Amino acid sequence: MTPPEKAGAPHLTGTAALVRVMADTAYRNLFLASTAVMASQWMQRIALGWIMWELTGSTTWLGLLASAELLPGLFFGPLGGVLADRMSRKRMVLICQIAAFVISVATGIVVFLGLSTPLLLMVLTAGGGIAAALQESARTLLLRDATPRDCLPTGMSMTAISVNVTRFLGPALAGPLVIWPGPASIFWINAAVALVMIATVLTLRLKHATPAPATREPFLRQLWIGMKGASSHPVVTPVLLVFAATAFLVRPVYELMPAFADRLFGGNVQDYTYLIMGVGAGAVIGAVIVTLNAPPRPAMMFFWSSLAACLSLVAFSATPGILSATLAATILGFFMCISAATSQLVMVLDTEESVTGRVLSLWGALMRGAPALGALATGAVLDLMGYRLPLALSGLIAAVLTGGAIYLFTRSPGARPDAA
């Protein structure tokens, strides 16, 4: 059965809801620690990407590096979703954060001592990707359980925002640190943040914890139930399909940004920093809009922001210089943030409680795996065909698919505000 708070119960909105959720100690501490964890993960990704680019000068290697981190999510994400629906979410997050701490320390030592090689970076990156994928659903549901029930849309909007703003803000912070004091510092920061998260979870006291159901069903059976729920829902299913398409065609631009800064604009790490800071600034503005509006039925906001992100990618591919590219990157970050945040909000607010972890894990697998596959494919194409035309084609194809989905969805019963 769908919980009352997910079925349209009265809720606070706007600044009143924002003040209430941030006044709750459990939610505030967990939200801030979780946001710091995700920001540090994205900072680490940027550092690894630049190190790999300096070692190889190849977009194919950048795609392989992204795949090493994100592709494990295709398996370990759903595994984490099943575990989040059947065991202690606090225990899952603790175990994964301890693993993340060890991996960050090891990577920092390798980078600091100058022992980096492409294959070693990929191995360490894959370990971090596995730890992140396993805990993603558990951490999101832990935050949901800490949210005051009369502010659930706002609290989960902020949770979704933290996932997606950190995707852009983390790299914006990482850019200057890569220049000074150097990339190794980012891995020390990541290790310190993991310790903060461990301490936060150990002291967490939840008022609304949802107990895990007692079940002895096999893993594959539970996974199948979750996938079946995600593939037959009038709102969740079309959102997941469009999200998968845009994650594969549009989001890889971020993983390949070092190459665009160099090959399109003849720049260095400073120009790379401008681009990622532009994306981060746009994401922050998008975050404010979603948080203050906190839509209880966010599907349409997702579809329109996805279409705008596709067209923004086309605009980015046509920019002649670093200033116009930074502006286009800001617009792209704005709509990519809203699209990703509202899609996750759909997963949390529109799915049945019993399978929320598994549906979230499917979303997380797409969030991590689809850009990795897209970066791998796009990286190979860019090395062969140049940089502007493939970007423009990716944006146009994604725009056509998203526009078609909007047309079909607005004519389906699931598009009605009172649809179940």
For residues 209-233, b (16+ Cβ closer than 10 Å) or e, as one string?
ebeeeeeeeeeeebbebbbebbeeb
Alpha helices in 203-297 (DSSP H): 219-231, 236-249, 252-255, 257-263, 269-293
C-alpha–C-alpha distance, residues 91 and 261, integer Å: 41
At 372 the pLDDT is 72
Give the model confidence (pLDDT) of 272-311 as tens digits. 778 877 887 888 788 888 877 766 678 899 999 999 999 9
The domains of the chain are located at 13-204+214-412
Question: To the nearest whole percent, how much of the chain has pLDDT over 90?
Answer: 30
At 363 the pLDDT is 83
The count of other CB atoms within 10 Å of the CB of residue 7 is: 11
Using pLDDT thresholds of 50, 70 and 90, give the confidence band for residue 217: low
Residues 6 or more apart in contact with residue 10 via CB below 8 angstroms: 150
Q: Is the predicted pLDDT of residue 383 greater than 80, yes or no?
A: no
Tokens matching residue 409? 């969805």
At 413 the pLDDT is 66
Give the model confidence (pLDDT) of 330-340 as tens digits. 999 899 888 98
Torsion angle, alpha carbons of 2, 244, 60, 331, to 10: -100
Q: Taken in order 154, 21, 287, 33, is the CA torsion positive or negative?
A: negative
Under DSSP, the state recorded for 4 is G
C-alpha–C-alpha distance, residues 312 and 338, integer Å: 13
Q: Which of 325, 310, 248 is nearest to 279 (CA)?
A: 325
CATH class, 13-204+214-412 region = mainly alpha
Using pLDDT thresholds of 50, 70 and 90, give the confidence band for residue 420: very low
At 151 the pLDDT is 82
C-alpha–C-alpha distance, residues 335 and 315, integer Å: 13
If one compares 345 and 130, the residue with the highest pLDDT of the two is: 130
Taking 3-state DSSP, the helix, strand and coil percentages for the chain, each rounded to the nearest 5, stand at 80, 0, 20
Q: Taken in order 386, 391, 392, 396, is the CA torsion positive or negative?
A: positive
